[in-house]
Amino acid sequence: MNDSTTPRGQLRVGRLTKAHGLKGAIKLELFTDDPGRRFVPGAVFTLQVPTGSPWHGKKIELVELRWYNQHAVGFFKNVPDREAAEALAKAILWIDQDDAEQSDEEDAWYDHQLIGLAVVRDGVQIGTIARLEHLPAQDLLIVKTPTGDVMIPFVKAIVPSVDVTRGIVTITPPPGLLEELPEEPDEEPDEEPAADITTTDTDGA
């Protein structure tokens, strides 16, 4: 089970995806527009991993960030080989950040900045953000609505606008994400059933 609880004052900056090569390198998915500032040698990250992982509750230190075919690849302290790297696949990386620091990175927010914001669709508030869940595949907004909690994938196509200052998160969900799709009406038969057709014998008996 993933530990989705994140400490106040931390910012999610990346996800380790899979091992690269045999020397402990790990491919990275970056959630920062400034990797040159966030991913420097000696940078320390808090790991979000399943509770059963030997890395649970630990931090990890970056030794070097390299680029291979436009993919970020990280080398980390105490990750000497491929086996160790594979144990870190899908881990999420968090950094400590002062609440007073204003992030200039696009689409970067603290969890606590989003919790409680109004969720609006087509100009109408449908609920509020109860919490976030950071899963290996994607992040989810858990939205509290009058009919129960709804999971909204936190991706640009569905959540195009987050205005923390106004307290509004705008969503454009595809049909069926928030409610049951109406059933398609039954197709009209091409012709009346044979039993209901009345015929006239014009030839007579």
Domain at 15, CATH number = 2.40.30.60
Task: Give the per-residue pLDDT at 80.
Answer: 93
Q: Is residue 51 part of a domain?
A: yes
Q: What is the pLDDT of residue 105?
A: 52
Nearest to 3 by CA among 46, 61, 67: 46
Q: Do 14 and 87 sit in the same domain of this protein?
A: yes
pLDDT of residue 139: 81
In a domain, 88, yes or no: yes
> Final residue of a domain: which of 65, 96, 127?
96
Q: What is the DSSP string of 93-153?
A: EEEE--TTSPP-STT---HHHHTT-EEEETTEEEEEEEEEEE-SS-EEEEEEETTEEEEEE
pLDDT of residue 4: 43
What CATH number is given to the structural domain containing 134? 2.30.30.240
Residues 88 and 119 in one domain: no
Q: Which domain holds residue 68?
A: 10-96
Same domain (yes/no): 15, 91: yes
DSSP 37: H
Asked whether residue 149 falls in the same domain as residue 72, the answer is no
pLDDT the model gives residue 131:
87
Give me the tens of pLDDT residue by residue for the chain, a chain 205 residues long.
Answer: 344 444 455 788 888 999 998 999 999 988 877 788 889 999 999 998 888 888 888 999 999 999 988 889 999 999 999 999 999 998 989 887 655 454 545 556 767 788 899 999 989 999 999 988 877 667 888 999 988 888 898 888 888 888 888 899 999 988 777 764 444 444 454 555 444 444 444 444 4
Q: Which pLDDT value is given to residue 97?
A: 66
Looking at the 3D structure of the chain, how many domains does it have? Answer: 2
Same domain? 53 vs 115: no
Gyration radius of the chain over CA positions:
26
Residue 42, token pair as written in the block: 């000696």
Does residue 130 sit in the same domain as residue 165?
A: yes
Residue 44 located in a structural domain: yes
Per-residue burial over 41-54, b if 16 or more Cβ lie within 10 Å, else e, is: eebebbbbbeeebe
| pTM to 2 decimal places | 0.53
Structural domain includes residue 185? no
